Amino acid sequence: MTHIPHDLSHVQSRDKAEILAQALPYIRQFHGKTMVIKYGGNAMTDPALQQAFAEDVVMLKLVGINPVVVHGGGPQIEGLLKRLGKQGQFIQGMRVTDAETMEVVEWVLGGEVQQDIVGMINRAGGKAVGLTGRDGGLIKAKKLKLLDQQDPALEHDIGQVGDIVSIDPSVVKSLEDAGFIPVVSPIGFGEDGESYNINADVVAARLATVLRAEKLLLLTNIRGVLDKAGELLTNLSAVEVDALIADGTISGGMIPKIAGALEAAHSGCNSVHIIDGRVPHAMLLEILSEEAYGTMIRSH
């Protein structure tokens, strides 16, 4: 396949036609299908990459694919907590979220970050709408039980961190059908209306499962899943991923990301892509070309 340069201004017309022709089978294959995109990492903080992401999302919508964006915002939450003089506390890698911290999480995720993404997509020619788990009863949650890694009998209280009870995707489907691009903040709500901060990878994976999405796309700051020699593994089955976790090839911080991806692949989402969000338009190139810009995990 012809490598697609990031700036097409100097590309010959014949080459442009070839690029478009090679995208056509993918557009045909995925027309009318839903794709859930977890937006995070450098793609979320670098202005040029933000612009490329917004253009990609709008392009997908324009060719008849239904993108649903789920975003994180850890660095932005950390930044505001620092400005307020509040020290972040973590237990086993999880942020302890007391009531005051939860307020900050809601301001940042459901306010500033979400509206920045909505505005960015709208400026690129799309029609984005922001949602939290509260909107349309989208994400019901309960308090996450964090068991101690050394002593499973011991449970840590990490405050308003949530575990998903259920997702009702009807509001997302209604927006999709009306031509809108849903942008979801990973905030759930409990039985008494209390808010919960939920891991964005988990929300994206569960939403992809419930929507029976064609693809779940995870934009990250890594190339994808690497083998022990550091080479990119571009195409794996869910069973092969299980084996790579078992032999230690996939370890550390990669495991939680893979766990959500695997759950989605095992539960009805056709494929999951872990994509290098530091490459402009990597998402579009991964979906609409033969080029690999990350790791694809197939359900079979």
CA distances from 274 to 167, 231, 297 (A): 23, 15, 8
Using alpha carbons only, what angle is made at residue 191 by residues 185 and 193, rounded to the nearest 5 degrees? 55
User: 190 among the known binding-site residues?
Assistant: no
DSSP, collapsed to helix, strand or coil, labels residue 159 as strand
User: 73 among the known binding-site residues?
Assistant: yes
CA trace torsion 25, 26, 29, 34 (10° rounding): -160
CA distances from 56 to 124, 226, 247, 276, 284 (A): 9, 26, 36, 14, 6
User: 197 among the known binding-site residues?
Assistant: yes
Q: Which tokens sit at 170? A: 């009807």
The sign of the CA dihedral 95, 96, 102, 103 is: negative
DSSP 280: T
Q: Binding-site residues for substrate, please?
A: 73-74, 95, 197
Q: Binding-site residues, please?
A: 73-74, 95, 197
